[in-house]
Structure 1
Amino acid sequence: MTRLLWIPRGIGLGLLAFLIFGPLLNLLLWAFAEKWFYPNAFPSDWGFSYWGRVFSPRGAAWEALGNSLTVALLTVALSLMLSIPAGYALARLPLPAKALILLSFLIPQAFPNLTVYVNIARIFYQFGLNGTIAGVVIVHTVHGLVLSVWIATAAFSAVPRDGEEAARSMGAGPFRAFRDVTLPQALPGLLAAAIFVFLESLDEFTGSYFVGAPDVQMLPLTLFTAAGGGNYQIASITALLLLVPSIGFMLLVERFLKADVLARVGK
């Protein structure tokens, strides 16, 4: 009887694999399909003509890719500039209401994105930030701080105080002790935070749409436009451009983000 238990387990694993890899397989099929009509199970013609259209000068894929990477990198830089001192202070200093401060970074996530970005767009219009890279970076950073501050706090909390205290006792100043002792040990967690922020920025659509469109073209906007117009091949190719770095960076996150850091998230 116990030998038959592999049957429901196999069925369950097969369904799980289908749910995970089925959409990815469909994405790959559409990316290389020239003609695919119902009720055919597979495309009738294959080719790369849509790839040429996506990367042609009129396709604007290079512009969207360049803008997306630029915004993501600037968002990472700004998020880390803010989250490193904030995370260190929350992990090391006897601040009152630390839990409340950490929860305050979740406020942008507590409300529907649509209503938040409509009001942000109205405010940005007054300061000339709508339709600019700077405006999109600021919006993405608001979301990125949720991840970067929490992970930075956990990363600094996981670093023992002994090394920093020993450096201070030997004459090192507070900044030098932080730079030479604490920061290198917290670096894996900070790198993981940077990767998470980069991926969050790369995939962000709502903020990019309300603040950046139509002047700042981004890959999620290109994907939305193509899918809304029924151009499934172009939409699939654009989705692959977003998917490849996401998979690569998630593998890096798995390497850098250790269990002791995860255990301290929210503490």
Structure 2
Amino acid sequence: MTHATTMFTPARALSALWWVPRGVIFGLMAFFIFGPLANLLFWTVAEKWYFPHSLPLQYGFSYWAQVFAPRGGAVESLTNSIIVAVLTVVVSLALAIPAGYALARLKLPLRGLILLAFLIPQAFPNLTVYVNVARIFYEIRLNGTIPGVVLVHVSHGLVYAVWIATAAFSAIDAELEQAARSMGAGPLRAFLDVTLPLAMPGLMASAIFVFLESLDEFTGSYFVGAPDVNMLPLLLYTAGAGDNYQIASITALLLLIPSIVFMLVVERFLKADVLSRVGH
């Protein structure tokens, strides 16, 4: 009895009570993170749900059939979104690989300002920028076309593409490329055989970031593409504005799934040594 009493000290009591605020904090974090996701999943299968009921009164998949019906627009919007995102990745990497290599290897004057210049599209309110872009694209007949939407998405995707590509090339020891050239390889062969394969994990992460940015882009898609180029974010906006929460939730889930999958891939490819060189 005495031994048990001595074991229960005020310090041990405070240590045990310390888990209470921790549990409350973690519980609130889990609620704010997973609560909206759970609500989203409920709405995707809710046939009937209204206040004050905390759970749907009837479950089903009739809204899924409505979304993927020929007149629902989801298949066309999903196809357009994927096409635009893939083309955005191709164009962004085609520009970012040489730019990132030059910024990483060459002693360019005002290198920091060049990197900062790629942030300019993010520095201004998107609404005012895209209104003027839409007016210019209308005059040159790019408004309402997939190439026009791709160009707008590239202007945002280059931020991720160039910065991560620069970091990926900076993380590679230049002596490896010099060793290949000393053995007779030309500049292009040394780049293709040595530098590019080593930078590929960072470039893959860059491509995924650009793909996700394009997939979720709404403002540029709306002002440049609508109503001729239907995209998933536009379908989500239309459903949400019309208070059709089931269709909006299903569309949001279609956007969420690739984002989660690709972010897991990014976590695998984008290593700490690459991240540490972003902006350097």
After TM superposition, is the score higher than 0.5?
yes
Match of 1:250 in 2: 263
Deviations 1:218-247 (A, max 9, x none): 000000000000000000000000000000
Amino acid across the alignment from 2:134: A
Out of 145, 157, 161, the position equivalent to 1:144 is: 157
Q: Please give the TM-score of this superposition, normalised by the length of structure 2.
A: 0.95
Match of 1:194 in 2: 207
1:234-245 matched pairs, under 5 angstroms:
234-245=247-258
Out of 57, 73, 76, the position equivalent to 1:44 is: 57
Match of 2:140 in 1: 127
Deviation at 1:160, TM superposition (A): 0.6
Deviation at 1:163, TM superposition (A): 1.0
Deviation at 1:179, TM superposition (A): 0.4
Match of 1:65 in 2: 78
Out of 215, 220, 225, the position equivalent to 2:233 is: 220
Q: Give distance in 1, aligned partners of 2:58 and 2:30.
A: 27
Amino acid across the alignment from 2:52: P
Ranges in structure 2 where 5+ consecutive residues have no aligned partner: 1-13
Out of 168, 172, 177, the position equivalent to 2:185 is: 172
- Kindly indicate whether residue 218 of structure 2 is the aligned counterpart of residue 205 of structure 1: yes
Amino acid across the alignment from 1:130: N
**Secondary structure, aligned partner of 2:193:** helix
Deviations 1:146-177 (A, max 9, x none): 00000000000000111100011111111110
Q: Give distance in 1, aligned partners of 2:50 and 2:29.
A: 27
Deviations 1:30-62 (A, max 9, x none): 000001011110110100000000000010110
Out of 18, 22, 43, the position equivalent to 1:9 is: 22
Q: Give distance in 2, aligned partners of 1:204 and 1:21.
A: 23
Q: Give distance in 1, aligned partners of 2:229 and 2:97.
A: 29
Deviation at 1:77, TM superposition (A): 0.2
Deviation at 1:2, TM superposition (A): 1.4
**Secondary structure, aligned partner of 2:268:** helix
Ranges in structure 1 where 5+ consecutive residues have no aligned partner: none
Match of 1:27 in 2: 40
Amino acid across the alignment from 2:152: V
Q: Give distance in 2, aligned partners of 1:59 and 1:106.
A: 37
Amino acid across the alignment from 1:216: V
Match of 1:101 in 2: 114
Q: Please give the TM-score of this superposition, normalised by the length of structure 1.
A: 1.00
Deviations 1:51-104 (A, max 9, x none): 000000010110000000000000000000000000000000110011000000
- Kindly indicate whether residue 100 of structure 2 is the aligned counterpart of residue 87 of structure 1: yes
- State percent identity of aligned pairs: 72
Number of equivalent positions: 267
